[in-house]
Amino acid sequence: MSPLVKRYLEERGAAFSVVTHRPLISFEDAKEILPHDPRNMVKSLVFRCADDSLAIVALRAAERADYKKIAALGERRADLRMAEEEYVRDRLDMENGGVVPLPINGARVFIDRNVLELEEVVCGTGRKTATLVIALAELLRVAQAALADLSKAAAIADQSSPAAS
Protein backbone atom coordinates (compact mmCIF):
# COMPACT_ATOMS: atom_id res chain seq x y z
CA MET A 1 0.00 0.00 0.00
CA SER A 2 1.24 3.47 -0.81
CA PRO A 3 2.46 5.21 2.37
CA LEU A 4 0.63 8.39 1.27
CA VAL A 5 -2.64 6.49 0.87
CA LYS A 6 -2.22 4.73 4.20
CA ARG A 7 -1.49 8.00 6.00
CA TYR A 8 -4.42 9.74 4.28
CA LEU A 9 -6.87 7.02 5.36
CA GLU A 10 -5.50 6.72 8.90
CA GLU A 11 -5.51 10.50 9.49
CA ARG A 12 -9.24 10.50 8.66
CA GLY A 13 -9.99 7.51 10.86
CA ALA A 14 -11.19 5.43 7.92
CA ALA A 15 -12.23 1.82 8.48
CA PHE A 16 -10.75 -0.36 5.74
CA SER A 17 -8.89 -3.58 5.06
CA VAL A 18 -6.13 -4.44 2.64
CA VAL A 19 -5.64 -7.66 0.70
CA THR A 20 -2.13 -8.40 -0.59
CA HIS A 21 -1.64 -10.46 -3.74
CA ARG A 22 0.55 -10.93 -6.78
CA PRO A 23 0.66 -7.90 -9.12
CA LEU A 24 -2.47 -7.12 -11.08
CA ILE A 25 -3.15 -4.54 -13.75
CA SER A 26 -6.42 -5.31 -15.47
CA PHE A 27 -9.97 -6.14 -14.48
CA GLU A 28 -9.36 -9.64 -15.85
CA ASP A 29 -6.36 -9.99 -13.50
CA ALA A 30 -8.46 -8.77 -10.57
CA LYS A 31 -11.27 -11.22 -11.30
CA GLU A 32 -8.76 -14.05 -11.42
CA ILE A 33 -6.63 -13.06 -8.41
CA LEU A 34 -9.02 -11.49 -5.90
CA PRO A 35 -11.60 -13.43 -3.88
CA HIS A 36 -14.09 -10.52 -4.06
CA ASP A 37 -17.25 -10.15 -6.14
CA PRO A 38 -16.17 -8.51 -9.45
CA ARG A 39 -19.29 -6.33 -9.33
CA ASN A 40 -17.73 -4.52 -6.34
CA MET A 41 -14.47 -3.76 -8.14
CA VAL A 42 -13.79 -0.12 -8.96
CA LYS A 43 -11.05 1.12 -11.26
CA SER A 44 -9.55 4.57 -11.17
CA LEU A 45 -8.17 6.41 -14.17
CA VAL A 46 -5.82 9.36 -13.79
CA PHE A 47 -6.00 12.28 -16.18
CA ARG A 48 -3.47 15.07 -16.50
CA CYS A 49 -5.28 18.34 -17.02
CA ALA A 50 -4.14 21.29 -19.13
CA ASP A 51 -2.95 23.10 -15.97
CA ASP A 52 -0.89 20.00 -14.93
CA SER A 53 -3.32 19.17 -12.13
CA LEU A 54 -4.59 15.61 -11.83
CA ALA A 55 -8.13 14.25 -11.94
CA ILE A 56 -8.92 10.74 -10.74
CA VAL A 57 -12.05 9.20 -12.21
CA ALA A 58 -13.45 6.12 -10.46
CA LEU A 59 -15.95 3.81 -12.07
CA ARG A 60 -17.04 0.22 -11.80
CA ALA A 61 -14.30 -1.96 -13.24
CA ALA A 62 -16.51 -3.63 -15.85
CA GLU A 63 -17.62 -0.30 -17.31
CA ARG A 64 -15.99 1.89 -19.92
CA ALA A 65 -15.17 5.51 -19.32
CA ASP A 66 -17.01 8.08 -21.44
CA TYR A 67 -14.30 10.60 -22.29
CA LYS A 68 -16.80 13.15 -23.56
CA LYS A 69 -18.57 13.15 -20.18
CA ILE A 70 -15.27 13.28 -18.31
CA ALA A 71 -14.11 16.23 -20.41
CA ALA A 72 -17.34 18.05 -19.52
CA LEU A 73 -16.03 18.22 -15.94
CA GLY A 74 -13.68 21.01 -16.92
CA GLU A 75 -11.35 20.05 -19.76
CA ARG A 76 -11.68 20.34 -23.49
CA ARG A 77 -12.00 16.84 -24.94
CA ALA A 78 -8.91 17.54 -27.07
CA ASP A 79 -6.91 18.35 -23.90
CA LEU A 80 -8.03 15.30 -21.93
CA ARG A 81 -5.23 12.77 -21.68
CA MET A 82 -4.24 9.94 -19.42
CA ALA A 83 -1.46 10.87 -17.02
CA GLU A 84 1.90 9.31 -17.71
CA GLU A 85 2.87 6.47 -15.37
CA GLU A 86 5.92 8.35 -14.08
CA TYR A 87 3.85 11.49 -13.44
CA VAL A 88 1.30 9.46 -11.46
CA ARG A 89 4.05 7.83 -9.44
CA ASP A 90 5.80 11.17 -8.73
CA ARG A 91 2.68 13.18 -7.87
CA LEU A 92 0.46 10.57 -6.21
CA ASP A 93 2.88 7.83 -5.11
CA MET A 94 0.65 5.40 -7.01
CA GLU A 95 1.23 2.81 -9.71
CA ASN A 96 -1.01 2.38 -12.73
CA GLY A 97 -3.19 -0.60 -12.01
CA GLY A 98 -3.37 0.33 -8.33
CA VAL A 99 -4.76 3.86 -8.29
CA VAL A 100 -7.13 4.69 -5.43
CA PRO A 101 -9.78 7.44 -5.76
CA LEU A 102 -8.51 9.75 -3.03
CA PRO A 103 -7.45 13.41 -3.31
CA ILE A 104 -3.79 12.73 -2.63
CA ASN A 105 -1.65 15.85 -3.15
CA GLY A 106 -4.62 17.89 -4.37
CA ALA A 107 -5.87 15.55 -7.09
CA ARG A 108 -9.54 16.12 -7.90
CA VAL A 109 -11.67 12.98 -7.52
CA PHE A 110 -14.78 12.13 -9.52
CA ILE A 111 -16.87 9.04 -8.88
CA ASP A 112 -19.29 7.64 -11.43
CA ARG A 113 -22.84 7.45 -10.11
CA ASN A 114 -23.01 3.72 -10.90
CA VAL A 115 -20.54 3.16 -8.04
CA LEU A 116 -23.30 4.32 -5.68
CA GLU A 117 -25.03 0.97 -6.27
CA LEU A 118 -22.32 -0.76 -4.23
CA GLU A 119 -22.16 -1.27 -0.48
CA GLU A 120 -18.50 -2.28 -0.52
CA VAL A 121 -15.78 -1.05 -2.85
CA VAL A 122 -12.75 -3.08 -3.89
CA CYS A 123 -10.14 -0.77 -5.42
CA GLY A 124 -6.46 0.10 -5.59
CA THR A 125 -4.16 1.08 -2.74
CA GLY A 126 -1.56 2.85 -4.83
CA ARG A 127 0.24 -0.43 -5.45
CA LYS A 128 -0.42 -3.30 -7.89
CA THR A 129 0.18 -5.85 -5.12
CA ALA A 130 -2.48 -4.73 -2.63
CA THR A 131 -6.18 -3.99 -2.83
CA LEU A 132 -8.31 -1.78 -0.63
CA VAL A 133 -11.66 -3.02 0.66
CA ILE A 134 -13.79 -0.21 2.06
CA ALA A 135 -17.48 0.47 2.62
CA LEU A 136 -18.89 2.81 -0.01
CA ALA A 137 -20.10 5.22 2.67
CA GLU A 138 -16.61 5.34 4.15
CA LEU A 139 -14.98 5.94 0.76
CA LEU A 140 -17.41 8.75 0.00
CA ARG A 141 -16.70 10.31 3.39
CA VAL A 142 -12.93 10.43 2.90
CA ALA A 143 -12.67 10.88 -0.89
CA GLN A 144 -14.24 14.35 -1.06
CA ALA A 145 -15.37 13.36 -4.54
CA ALA A 146 -17.79 14.91 -6.98
CA LEU A 147 -20.41 12.51 -8.33
CA ALA A 148 -21.19 12.45 -12.05
CA ASP A 149 -22.31 10.16 -14.87
CA LEU A 150 -18.94 9.18 -16.35
CA SER A 151 -19.33 5.73 -17.86
CA LYS A 152 -20.57 4.60 -21.23
CA ALA A 153 -22.56 1.91 -19.45
CA ALA A 154 -24.56 4.64 -17.72
CA ALA A 155 -25.50 6.13 -21.09
CA ILE A 156 -26.50 2.72 -22.44
CA ALA A 157 -28.59 1.99 -19.35
CA ASP A 158 -30.33 5.37 -19.69
CA GLN A 159 -31.21 4.63 -23.33
CA SER A 160 -32.63 1.21 -22.57
CA SER A 161 -34.89 2.34 -19.75
CA PRO A 162 -38.65 2.41 -20.47
CA ALA A 163 -38.69 6.16 -19.86
CA ALA A 164 -36.23 6.68 -22.69
CA SER A 165 -38.41 4.82 -25.21
Tens of pLDDT, residue by residue over 129-155, are 999 999 999 999 999 999 999 999 544
pLDDT at 53: 87
Does the pLDDT at position 49 exceed 90? no
pTM here is 0.87
Contact between 135 and 40 (Cβ < 8 Å): no
Q: How far apart are the first and last CA of the chain?
A: 46
Alpha-carbon distances, residue 156 vs 27, 58, 116 (angstroms): 20, 18, 17
Partnered with residue 20 across adjacent β-strands are 130
